[in-house]
Amino acid sequence: MSLTLSQIAQNALDVQDACNPLAVARLYIRMTDDLLAHHGVRGTDAICNHPTVVLVAHKLADLSNVGSIGGDAYAEAYIECLAIASLADELDAVSRRIHAEEAA
C-alpha cells in the first residue's frame, strides 16, 4: 500500500528523532518509491530536492556521522514538510468529499 503525501511528510518529520539507521534507510527507499510512483515526482533532481527526501537524507547523514546539510537548508525542508503534512491532509479531505458527492 502506498503512502499519502501527508504520511510521507509526517514520516520525514517523525524520523528526525530516530536512532536506527536501518529503519531510516528503509523509510527512505519506501518514501522515494512512493514519490516516484504515486505523487508525480519525476527525475533525479526532483527526488533529491524534495523536502521529505532532504530531511530523511539529513537524518541518515547524522546517524552515519558524516557531513550534512546546513542549518538553513534543514530548516527550510522541515518547514516545507510541515506544510505538506498539513495541506495534504486538507486536500485529501476535500478530495474524499468531492468523490463522495460524485458517487451520491
Tens digits of residue pLDDT in 31-51 = 999 999 999 999 999 999 999
List the grid coordinates of 43: 527525475
- Kindly tell me if the per-residue pLDDT of 69 is higher than 70: no
- Kindly tell me if the per-residue pLDDT of 91 is higher than 70: no
Residue 20, helix vs strand vs coil: coil
Residue range 73-88: mean pLDDT, rounded: 81
* Locus of grid cell 479531505: 93
47 with 28: CB under 8 angstroms? no
What is the largest distance, in Å, between two alpha-carbon atoms of the chain? 55
Structural domains in the chain (count): 1
Domain that holds residue 26: 5-103
- Kindly tell me if the per-residue pLDDT of 65 is higher than 90: no
Question: What's CA 53's distance to the chain center, in Å?
Answer: 6
28 confidence band (pLDDT: 50, 70, 90): very high
